[in-house]
């Protein structure tokens, strides 16, 4: 796939509205140091699969979220993302 600079400069956290879970975003950031899509696209499936959170379901979630992002298909509202992050209620 050919990526634009704007796509590559997208923070992984922005992929939550495209279906990437908060948990997955945290694992990619914490375990692999991937903060932007640019940091992720050069990683192998084996490398991504080596982090404890991942398995077939997590890799499928990641693939689907990236496909949704590329096609502009938003699957969660920002309100749903905030509600699902586990840290919102006082």
> Domain-by-domain residue ranges, the chain?
5-84
Q: pTM for the complete prediction? A: 0.83
What CATH number belongs to 5-84?
1.10.150.20
Could you tell me which residue, 85 or 88, shows the higher pLDDT?
85
Could you tell me which residue, 55 or 26, shows the higher pLDDT?
26
Question: pLDDT tens across 36-76, in order?
Answer: 999 999 899 888 888 887 678 888 999 999 999 999 999 99
The pLDDT of residue 33 is: 94
CA distance 58 to 51: 10
């Amino acid at each position: 796939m050919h990526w634009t600079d704007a796509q590559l400069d997208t923070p992984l956290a922005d992929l939550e509205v495209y279906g990437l879970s908060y948990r997955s975003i945290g694992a990619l950031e914490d375990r692999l140091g991937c903060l932007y899509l640019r940091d992720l696209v050069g990683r192998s499936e084996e490398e991504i699969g080596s982090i404890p959170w991942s398995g077939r379901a997590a890799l499928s979630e990641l693939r689907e979220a990236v496909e949704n992002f590329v096609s502009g298909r938003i699957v969660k509202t920002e309100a749903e993302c905030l509600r699902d992050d586990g840290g919102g209620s006082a």
